Amino acid sequence: MALFGKIDNLDKNNSGEKSEITEVEKVKVLIIGSGPAGYTAAIYAARANLSPVLYEGLQPGGQLTTTTEVENFPGYPQGITGPEMMEDLKKQAERFGTSIRFGLATKADLSQRPFKVTIDEKKIIESDALIIATGATAKYLGIEDEKKYAGSGVSACATCDGFFYRGKDVAVVGGGDTAAEEALYLSGLAKKVYLIVRRNELRASKVMQERVFNTQNIEVLWEHQTKGLVGEGVVEGAVLVKKKGTPQEEEVQIKIDGFFLAIGHKPNSDIFKDYLETDSVGYIKTIPGSSKTNIDGVFACGDVQDTTYRQAVTAAGTGCMAAIDAERWLAENAH
pLDDT by residue (tens digit) across 78-132? 999 888 999 999 999 999 999 999 999 999 999 999 999 999 999 999 999 999 9
Residue 13 has pLDDT above 90, yes or no: no
Catalytic residue from among 128, 145, 161, 325? 161
Proportion of the chain above pLDDT 90, given as a percent = 80
Give the end-to-end CA distance of the chain in Å, rounded to a whole number: 15
Q: Residue 265: which of 227, 312, 236, 303 has the closest Cα?
A: 303
Task: Read off the pLDDT of residues 152-166 as tens digits, 9 standing for 90 and up.
Answer: 999 998 888 999 999
**Alpha-carbon distance 259 to 227, whole Å?**
13
pLDDT band of residue 297 (cuts 50, 70, 90) is very high
**Alpha-carbon distance 48 to 97, whole Å?**
10
Task: Using CA atoms of 105, 111, 114, 118 in order, give the dihedral in degrees to the nearest 10.
Answer: -20
Catalytic residue from among 11, 88, 120, 160? 160
Residues 119 and 41 in one domain: yes
Contact (Cβ atoms closer than 8 angstroms) between residue 305 and residue 286: yes
**If you average pLDDT over residues 142-153, what whole number do you get?**
93
Number of domains observed in the structure of the chain: 2
Residue 59 has pLDDT above 80, yes or no: no
Identity at 215, one-letter amino acid code: T
Q: Is 160 a catalytic residue?
A: yes
Contact (Cβ atoms closer than 8 angstroms) between residue 46 and residue 118: no
203, 238, 261 - which closes a domain: 261
Residues 88 and 200 in one domain: no
Residues 120 and 172 in one domain: no
**Alpha-carbon distance 314 to 141, whole Å?**
27
Contact (Cβ atoms closer than 8 angstroms) between residue 192 and residue 170: yes
Give the SS3 label for residue 24.
strand
Residues 124 and 201 in one domain: no
**Alpha-carbon distance 68 to 70, whole Å?**
7
Q: Is 161 a catalytic residue?
A: yes
Residues 116 and 158 in one domain: no
Residues 129 and 13 in one domain: yes
Contact (Cβ atoms closer than 8 angstroms) between residue 300 and residue 276: yes
DSSP-derived pairing of the beta strands 10-12 and 18-20: antiparallel
Per-residue model confidence (pLDDT) at position 18: 53
Residues 177 and 246 in one domain: yes
Residues 176 and 99 in one domain: no
Beta strands in the chain, from DSSP E residues, in sequence order: 3-5, 10-12, 18-20, 23-32, 53-55, 99-101, 105-109, 115-119, 123-132, 136-138, 154-155, 169-173, 192-196, 218-221, 224-230, 237-242, 250-255, 258-261, 265-267, 298-300
Among the residue ranges 7-11, 46-50, 245-249, 312-316, the one predicted with the least confidence is 7-11
Q: What is the CATH number of the domain that holds 43?
A: 3.50.50.60
Proportion of the chain above pLDDT 70, given as a percent = 93
Residue 67 has pLDDT above 70, yes or no: no
Burial of 148-186, coded b for 16+ CB within 10 Å and e otherwise, reads ebeeebbbbbbebbbebbeeebbbbbbbbbbbbbbbbbb
Residues 18 and 84 in one domain: yes
Among the residue ranges 18-22, 155-159, 279-283, 305-309, the one predicted with the least confidence is 18-22
Catalytic residue from among 8, 128, 145, 157? 157
Residue 147 burial (CB count, 10 A): 10
Residues 132 and 196 in one domain: no
Structural domain range at position 150: 140-261
Tell which phi-psi region holds residue 264, choosing left (phi > 0), alpha (psi between -120 and 50) or beta. left
Per-residue model confidence (pLDDT) at position 64: 75
Averaged pLDDT score across all residues of the chain:
91
261, 286, 305 - which closes a domain: 261
**If you average pLDDT over residues 297-308, what whole number do you get?**
96
Q: What is the pTM of this model?
A: 0.80
Contact (Cβ atoms closer than 8 angstroms) between residue 41 and residue 319: yes
245, 261, 277 - which closes a domain: 261
Residues 174 and 25 in one domain: no
Cis omega before residue 114 (within 30°)? yes
pLDDT band of residue 6 (cuts 50, 70, 90) is very low
**If you average pLDDT over residues 315-329, what whole number do you get?**
98
Phi and psi at residue 142, to the nearest 5°: 100, 10
Residues 171 and 309 in one domain: no
